[in-house]
């Protein structure tokens, strides 16, 4: 099977100004990211705020342009944003983001909005539109009597269900969900995640699920990529990464999530804040916060490399390079 979506060495740089008279200080929001998502697979993307998750999600859909690198959808390069070819492809790749109220038009009923893609992409004949809207509403757990409601007449969870129904209308092959439940009450989050998971399984949709909430990602992702300052630092299947994280950053992220009934002793605490991406630390960008940092980590950027079957990490220590480098130093 070939990947549905692939990214090769993607780079996105924001030029920002430092102070009133300061020069431009480029922020490498996404800095050489490569990934592949198979049809029907869910890739979770985790990392602290500012690690580049949202930028990467938008780049995968062609919404944000790449300074370098390439995105391919079903093996073909992504058409340039705004072209007719890209708009046609966008029906097959949908984005669900954090704020459903911003995604919906307050003046239109949710049934009208769920039906919009059917009309825009001429997906069903007019006489069948209402039936398809009803089917989509049922698929996300909205009641038929809610069809005529306006967004502000629904709860946050119901609004996000409506956004998901609209995203599904064009029968997408890929859903990019960017913090889709972060704005919802905790009690509602699991319900919406379950809706997404069920729909994805039933329809074989591939999903990129971006979240800073590891519990949610664990619940839905087949595979997880961990981002730090614009780069993937570890990637593995969800089970493997949560059971035996290798990169010290992944370990710290995972152990910062309290587990009911498990004492806090032995938890690795993530120290300090992520560094300013416009002023990236030398070597491994995580080294100023890393309890395992060695000399090599301050000077040499670790490559993302295979550290076991189906898993990669960008860390000198877990790749065993420090041992060999130190041995070489001693010999010299």
Any contact of residue 44 with ligand ATP (CB under 6 A)? no
**Percentages helix, strand, coil for the chain, rounded to the nearest 5?**
35, 20, 40
The answer to whether 180 contacts ligand ATP (rule: CB under 6 A) is: no
Q: Please, which residue, 82 or 320, has the CB nearer to ligand ATP?
A: 82
d(CA 84, CA 139): 30
Nearest distance in Å: CB 285, ligand ATP? 12
Residue 35 binds ligand ATP, judged by CB under 6 A: no
- Does position 238 interact with ligand ATP (CB under 6 A)? The reply is no
Strand 231-237 with 311-313, pairing: antiparallel
User: Tokens at residue 206, please?
Assistant: 């591939």
Closest CA to 53 of 223, 232, 207, 210: 210
State which residue, 54 or 200, has the beta carbon closest to ligand ATP. Answer: 54
Identify which of residues 97 and 242 has a Cβ nearer to ligand ATP in the complex. Answer: 97
> CB of residue 118 vs ligand ATP: minimum separation in angstroms?
31
Q: Between 45 and 64, how does the x/- string for binding to ligand ATP read (CB under 6 A)?
A: --x-xxxxxxx---------
Rounded to whole angstroms, the Cα distance separating 95 from 126 reads: 25
Minimum separation from the CB atom of position 275 to ligand ATP (A): 10
Reading across the β-sheet that carries 305-308, which strands appear in turn? 93-96, 174-178, 206-210, 42-46, 223-228, 231-237, 311-313, 305-308
Q: How far is 124 from 59, CA to CA, in rounded Å? A: 30
> Does residue 244 interact with ligand ATP by CB under 6 A?
no
- Using CB under 6 A as the binding rule, whether residue 189 contacts ligand ATP is answered as no
**Residues making contact with ligand ATP (CB under 6 A):** 14, 16, 27, 29, 47, 49-55, 212, 277
């Amino acid at each position: 099977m070939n990947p549905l979506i692939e990214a090769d060495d993607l780079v996105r740089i924001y030029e920002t100004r430092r102070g009133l008279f300061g020069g431009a200080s480029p922020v490498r929001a996404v800095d050489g990211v490569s990934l592949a998502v198979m049809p029907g697979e869910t890739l979770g993307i985790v990392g602290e705020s500012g690690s580049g998750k949202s930028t990467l999600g938008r780049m995968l859909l062609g919404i944000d342009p790449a300074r370098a690198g390439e995105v391919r959808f079903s093996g073909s390069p992504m058409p340039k944003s705004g072209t007719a070819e890209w708009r046609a492809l966008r029906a097959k790749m949908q984005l669900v983001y954090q704020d459903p109220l911003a995604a919906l038009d307050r003046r239109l009923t949710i049934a009208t909005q769920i039906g919009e893609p059917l009309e825009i992409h001429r997906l069903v004949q007019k006489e069948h539109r209402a039936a398809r809207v009803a089917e989509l509403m049922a698929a996300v757990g909205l009641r038929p009597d809610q069809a005529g409601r306006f967004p502000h007449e629904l709860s946050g969870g119901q609004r996000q269900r409506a956004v998901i129904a609209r995203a599904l209308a064009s029968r997408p092959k890929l859903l990019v969900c960017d913090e889709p439940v972060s704005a919802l009450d905790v009690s509602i989050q699991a319900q919406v995640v379950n809706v997404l998971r069920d729909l994805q399984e039933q329809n074989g949709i591939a999903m990129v699920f971006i979240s800073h909430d590891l519990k949610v990602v664990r619940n839905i992702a087949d595979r997880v990529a961990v981002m730090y300052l614009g780069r993937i630092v570890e990637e593995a299947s969800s089970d493997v990464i949560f059971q035996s994280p290798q990169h010290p950053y992944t370990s710290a992220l995972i152990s910062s999530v309290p587990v009911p009934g498990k004492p806090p002793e032995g938890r690795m605490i993530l120290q300090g804040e992520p560094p300013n991406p416009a002023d990236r630390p030398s070597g491994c960008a995580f080294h100023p916060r890393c309890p395992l940092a060695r000399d090599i980590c301050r000077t040499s950027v670790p490559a993302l490399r295979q550290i076991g079957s189906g898993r990669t990490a960008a860390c000198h220590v877990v790749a065993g390079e420090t041992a060999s480098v130190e041995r070489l130093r001693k010999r010299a």
